Amino acid sequence: MSKSTVKYPKIKSDNKQRYSVVFYSNEKRYRISNGSKINSNLYPNSHPINERYEIAKLLCAEVYKHLLSGLGVNEPKKVLYRTDKEYLFRALNNKLKGDCSHKYKSMLQWTYNGFVKYIENDKISSNNVNNYLNQYTKGSSYNSLRRHLNALINEAKSLGMDSNPMKDIKAKKSKAKLHKPYREVSIVLDDIRKYNDNLYLCSLITYGCLLRPHREIRELTWSDFNSDLTQINLSGDRNKSGRNRIVPIPKYVSELLTKGEPNHNIFTNTTTPPNKDYFKTLWSRYKKTSNCLEDNQTLYSFRHTGAIKVFNNTKDITKLQKAMGHASINVSLTYLRGLEVTELEVSDMPTL
């Protein structure tokens, strides 16, 4: 490749602020997220979010220098495994090494452990897949397992497995269960306050700050709050959207807070947060004692109720999107349609 034909690479990012470099070499398009293919030790996405773009720019420059020198791209040699079962095992290992949430990796491992029992003669067939999935009669469970198994099968195919046992396996239709909003939210909150202080504070922050209870709120430390307790700051690796979030705190929440040591959890007052099932267990116990709840009302219903309040107050879907931490405006629109608040499409929104 002559110097005159070498174009400077471009930097791309996804909605989780993970960066990659796009370029062409020998008329082939490449998209790399680290420097392994050009013998570089730059890994932008291993750095904190606010540093990734600068590291990606350095990687971009190194790719350009590499191409100008006339060197090609190191293509990893595909290792041929003997059986589909071995491809699936390698696919799982690759996924577990990736930049995914702990919950997602646990689900992949659980799916793999269950599915391998259905593989006969080390060859994966559509019958194996059907026999595994059909043990789940609920559409939501079936579709969740199908989705995770498909991720493993696709990874196995990328490693060289030549069959596609998922090809004709369709998703099941399932009725979405809504987190029903509260009509009298203050009555429910007062009832929870009598039951448990931590569950009350979690419910109040879920409703008033629109954070998700089971990780974002459960893991809050005092360093996540500003000095006058009017704002919560969450980095991208601490919330589902992967974006940095700044959330205002209503007065009815801040007046309950007394700031402690920066690295202490707000519920335990130690450096250790409550266990991951803490609020789930509390809610299950509270639900058995309460006469205030209706069917399909959950801890998440406080977030849904808060979303409706924000939209009704502002009539601004963009503000709602940012407040909820949604990756796109379409998610927020679907959210409101699902709650039967309004029937909106992107085309209905204001244009310039």
d(CA 4, CA 9): 14
Instruction: Report pLDDT for 189.
Output: 95
Torsion sign, CA atoms 293, 299, 302, 304:
negative
Most confident of 68-72, 93-97, 149-153: 149-153
Q: Which helix (H) or strand (E) holds 104?
A: helix 102-115
Q: What is the Cα–Cα distance from 13 to 242, expressed in whole angstroms?
A: 12
| Entry pTM | 0.57
Q: What is the pLDDT of residue 222?
A: 95
DSSP 137-158: -SHHHHHHHHHHHHHHHHHHHH
The answer on pLDDT for 38 being more than 90 is no
Instruction: State residue 334's pLDDT score.
Output: 63
Superfamily of chain region 185-348 = Intergrase catalytic core (1.10.443.10)
Q: Kindly indicate the confidence band of residue 175, based on its pLDDT and cuts at 50, 70 and 90.
A: low
Specify the pLDDT at position 173.
Answer: 74
Nearest in space to 111 (alpha carbons), one of 92, 124, 130, 86: 92
Separation CA 203–CA 207 (nearest Å): 6
The amino acid that residue 204 corresponds to is L
- Residue 186 neighbours by CB distance under 10 Å: 10
Hey, what are 147's tokens? 């989705």
* φ/ψ (deg, to 5) at 35: -95, 10
Domain map of the chain by residue range?
3-68, 84-159, 185-348
> Which H helix or E strand runs over 65?
helix 49-68
- Give the DSSP letter string of 193-234: HHH-HHHHHHHHHHHHH---IIIIITT-BGGGB-TTSSEEEE
**Residue 334: how many other CB atoms lie within 10 Å:** 13
| pLDDT attached to residue 342 | 47
Region 225-237 average pLDDT:
86
Mean pLDDT over each residue of the chain, to the nearest integer:
84
Which pLDDT score is estimated for 326? 73
Side chain identity at residue 317, one-letter code: I
Neighbours of 41 (CB within 10 A): 8
Which is higher by pLDDT, 239 or 305?
305
Q: Are residues 30 and 37 in contact, defined by beta-carbon separation less than 8 angstroms?
A: yes
The side-by-side arrangement of strands in the sheet containing 28-32 is: 10-13, 19-25, 28-32
- For residue 348, the model assigns a pLDDT of 46
Whether the pLDDT of residue 337 is over 80: the answer is no
Instruction: Kindly report, residue by residue over 133-159, the tens digit of the pLDDT.
Output: 998 888 778 888 999 999 999 988 888
pLDDT digits (tens, 9 = 90+) for 294-310: 888 899 889 888 888 88
pLDDT bracket for residue 325 (50, 70, 90): confident
pLDDT of 246: 84
Q: pLDDT band at residue 210, thresholds of 50, 70 and 90? A: confident
Q: Is there a contact between 59 and 42 (Cβ–Cβ < 8 Å)? A: yes
Q: How confident is the model at residue 219 (pLDDT cuts 50, 70, 90)?
A: very high
270: pLDDT strictly greater than 50: yes
- Looking only at Cα atoms, what is the longest distance across the chain? 76
Q: What integer pLDDT is reported at residue 77 of this predicted model?
A: 58
46-50, 174-178, 257-261: segment of lowest average pLDDT? 174-178
So what's the pLDDT on residue 338?
45
pLDDT score of 9 more than 70: yes
Predicted pLDDT of residue 305: 86
Asked if 229 and 223 touch (Cβ cutoff 8 Å), the reply is: no
